[in-house]
Amino acid sequence: MSGFDPKSLLGKAESDRLEFKEEAVLERPASIGREVVGFLNADGGDIWIGVKEEHERAVGYESIPDIEQARRSLLDHLIDTIQPQFRPEEVKLDCEGGLIHVTVKKGSSSLYAQRDGGWRFWIRIDARLREMSFHEIAKEFSRRSKAESTKKDRVTEIAAELRKAQASVVIEKPQLWLRLVPTESLEIGFDVDATKVQFLSWLTDASSTGNRRSGWNFVNDLRGPRFFGNKVTHGNDDDYMRTEITEQGHVTFWVRDSLGQPGSEPSIAPYELIEYPVSVFRLMAAILNRYGNGHADLQVVAGLVISGIRGWSLRPGSPRGPARMLLLGPKKFPDDVLELDPIAFTEGQIRDRDKPDWCGLRIVQRIYERFGFESNAIPPEFDQQQGRLLLG
């Protein structure tokens, strides 16, 4: 249950990022759709439904009856009438203090329109909403198309760099190598004391990034992190595990000799395989939440290599239960190197709520595919419907 107190809104003025609507507006959801489109086409904002305003200032509020049903109906309307379809992280509807809170981020697509007697393009200017002219629409489509092209070019460039880096990973010993590269520099100042304190916590306390203290994650118990002017490293070259974060926000993690059981019949341990990537995405989520503000169009490109595993087997299902007995038997990997094509994620897909696990799941699904498995071979401790890793 939300602890939000709607009294905190009283006296606040509407602005380019804030709009108030009375509860009766739910009978005319198109008017809310216009506001959402306007925020998507501008810099985002917040809409509070259930708030009375006078002269663009909040003066009262009223709890919305059957609020969850009203929220679902409004969301369905927005999905049905706004094109192109917004992403879940771009428009969120929450019930807070008896009000409906619509949080809108700057849209990641070109321009958004509302289907309301034709396609209508709205934009938020100061505390006002207005329809865009044909000239403005054409100009904005052109500008955003160029920006989108530039963004795609940057993703392509980073993907090419990742492929080169993946090709240089040595294959003599079994190891997992994972690198996450933002499309824009996060400008992390590792010479700042507060930054050192923050990364010291993240790199030595697994729980500070939402990971298990005793789990398979990037925390190296052998030594503490070392700070340089442009990066922090956790672990030495000869350690079994190493993590490096640069001032641009590039995160590189590799772990050796900790993927399973070597020997005459070497095998990869499923829990290590699914938890290591998720832990790194959780670290990246923490970094983005601290240093990624102001980068609305930022994406993160991920590259992964597992090397030295020719003849290693992977068993489907959970090591803890009989579920794996209902699946196929273990499968051996025929090559020395398992290399994934780089995958791009939006910053919202990584940093919002439980999304880091969902990003890790996409990586894990591709690894299992390379072994010849369907996604149901992934241990059920990874809830694929919710996109959450649930290892206790």
- pLDDT of 322: 60
- The pTM assigned to this predicted structure is 0.67
Q: How many domains does the chain have?
A: 2
Q: Is cis: bond before 277, omega within 30 of 0?
A: no
User: Which band of pLDDT confidence, cut at 50, 70 and 90, is reported for residue 301?
Assistant: very high
Contacts of 28 (CB under 8 A, 6+ apart): none
Residue 325 has pLDDT above 60, yes or no: no
Residue closest to 346 by CA, chosen among 288, 278, 276: 288
Are both 114 and 159 inside the same structural domain? no
Higher local confidence (pLDDT), 23 or 353? 23
User: Which band of pLDDT confidence, cut at 50, 70 and 90, is reported for residue 392?
Assistant: confident
* Percent of the chain whose predicted confidence (pLDDT) is above 70: 92
Is 140 inside any structural domain? no
Are both 218 and 337 inside the same structural domain? yes
- pLDDT of 143: 73
For residue 127, the enclosing domain spans 6-132
Is 139 inside any structural domain? no
- What 8-state DSSP symbol labels residue 74? H
User: Which band of pLDDT confidence, cut at 50, 70 and 90, is reported for residue 341?
Assistant: very high
Is 168 inside any structural domain? yes
- List, for residues 31-69, the tens digit of each pLDDT value: 999 999 999 999 899 999 999 999 999 999 999 999 999
Phi, psi (deg, nearest 5) at residue 227: -105, 135
Contacts of 93 (CB under 8 A, 6+ apart): 71, 74, 75, 100, 101, 102, 103
- What 8-state DSSP symbol labels residue 14? P
Are both 47 and 105 inside the same structural domain? yes
* Backbone Cα Rg of the chain: 24
Domain boundary among 80, 110, 132: 132
- pLDDT of 259: 80
Is 203 inside any structural domain? yes
- List, for residues 8-21, the tens digit of each pLDDT value: 999 999 999 999 99
Average pLDDT over the chain reads 89
Residue closest to 41 by CA, chosen among 120, 116, 155: 120
Are both 89 and 214 inside the same structural domain? no
Are both 126 and 243 inside the same structural domain? no
Tell me what the mean pLDDT of segment 100-118 comes to.
87
Q: CA angle, corner 7, sides to 4 and 13, nearest 5?
A: 110
Cα 392 from chain centroid (whole Å): 23
Q: Hey, how many other C-beta atoms are within 10 angstroms of the C-beta on 59?
A: 13
Are both 161 and 61 inside the same structural domain? no
> Tokens at residue 63, please?
């709890």
User: Which band of pLDDT confidence, cut at 50, 70 and 90, is reported for residue 353?
Assistant: low
Dist CA 322 CA 314 (whole Å): 16
Higher local confidence (pLDDT), 220 or 203? 203
Domain boundary among 106, 132, 158: 132
Domain boundary among 79, 100, 132: 132
Residue 326 has pLDDT above 90, yes or no: no
Is 60 inside any structural domain? yes
Q: Which of 55-69, 142-156, 166-180 shows the lowest per-residue confidence on average (mean pLDDT)?
A: 142-156
- pLDDT of 148: 65
- List, for residues 249-294, the tens digit of each pLDDT value: 999 999 987 787 776 788 999 999 999 999 999 999 999 999 987 6
- pLDDT of 123: 94
Task: State the chain's maximal CA–CA distance in angstroms.
Answer: 78
